[in-house]
A and B are shown apart, each in its own frame.
Chain A
Amino acid sequence: MDNDKHMLNNEMQLSFRAISANESFARTVAAAFVTGLNPTISEIMEIKTAVSEAVTNAIIHGYENKGLDEFVHLNCRLNGRELYIEVVDNGIGIQDIAQAMEPLYTSKPEQERSGMGFAVMENFMDYIHVTSAPGQGTTVVMMKKLPE
């Protein structure tokens, strides 16, 4: 019982190089973090997809694909059955957050980016908040409730 209680008030932090090979690593870690709560396959896929979007944004946009010596931080916290995920980069930041979050908006159409990253995060998670300013990096906070 005590172990279960601790599991519901758990926290992890991960820092990894801002390279695309780590996208899969990051989303797998986030999914593994909540395994003890017996999430559904659907919930796991939603978490993996949302993390993948946020981490990809950090690598492509935050660090403009030049993040070999830069790091992305993934912080996960469980507050009961609420999962909080924070994806942080120290990259170039976002000038206009509302525009960046608009469906289909992308600053990188030549790379065949769809501009749907934030729309997917909003759809798959219960809450999302973006903090950013030019030169100040970007922090994406997402929350998802995992019902019993």
Chain B
Amino acid sequence: MEIIFSERDRYLIAAPVGEIDHHTSLGIRQKIEKAFARSKARNLIFDFSRVEFMDSSGIGILIGRYRELSKLGGKVYAINISGEIGRIFGVSGLARIIPCYASVEDVLQNAEGQ
């Protein structure tokens, strides 16, 4: 599965393209881990703008990255969440540990303000 990566300041932005389920989740996890290791980033922004489907496998990926980055003092954010993916965030309580914003700019502004 394709993931579009970009970097800004100390943030790695990962935008998976397509469907996130059990079948695609291991590949997504490995690609993000690899890109993160190669980058200078400390934090991860998960961009959902190109995600067409996500089931609870996506929650597992996000919690996994949250745990790993927390150990290193980094944070995980989510952007461009809508519809049923937003409801999965709500049902799972994910929104309580992974802040959701509209855009990369919103994340940066908020992080600077902290």
A4 and B105 alpha carbons, distance in the complex (Å): 50
Interface positions, chain B 74-91, Cβ under 8 Å from A, are 83-84, 87-88, 91
A59 and B91 alpha carbons, distance in the complex (Å): 23
Interface positions, chain A 102-124, Cβ under 8 Å from B, are 103, 111-114, 116-117, 119-120, 123-124
A114 and B22 alpha carbons, distance in the complex (Å): 11
Q: Mark B41-67, 1 if CB is under 8 A from A, else 0.
A: 000000000000111110111011000
Q: Is A141 an interface residue (CB 8 A)?
A: no
The answer, among A42, A52, A113, A123, for a CB contact under 8 Å with B60, is A113
Contacts of B54 in A (CB 8 A): 49
A46 and B60 alpha carbons, distance in the complex (Å): 19
| In the complex with contacts A20-B22, A24-B21, A116-B84 CB distance below 8 A | no
Q: Is A53 an interface residue (CB 8 A)?
A: yes
Q: Is A100 an interface residue (CB 8 A)?
A: no
Shortest C-beta distance, A45 to chain B (Å), equals 4
Contacts of B63 in A (CB 8 A): 112, 114
Contacts of A123 in B (CB 8 A): 87, 91
Q: Is B7 an interface residue (CB 8 A)?
A: no
Query: Interface residues of B toward A: which range?
Result: 20 to 34
Q: Are the CB atoms of A23 and B23 closer together than 8 Å?
A: yes
A42 and B47 alpha carbons, distance in the complex (Å): 21
Q: Is B114 an interface residue (CB 8 A)?
A: no
Q: Are the CB atoms of B91 and A119 closer together than 8 Å?
A: yes
Contacts of B22 in A (CB 8 A): 20, 23, 52, 56, 59-60
Shortest C-beta distance, A10 to chain B (Å), equals 24
Q: Is A48 an interface residue (CB 8 A)?
A: yes
Residues of B whose CB lies within 8 Å of any CB of A are 19, 21-23, 25, 29, 53-57, 59-61, 63-64, 83-84, 87-88, 91-93
Residues of A whose CB lies within 8 Å of any CB of B are 20-21, 23-24, 27, 41-42, 45-46, 48-49, 52-53, 56, 59-60, 103, 111-114, 116-117, 119-120, 123-124
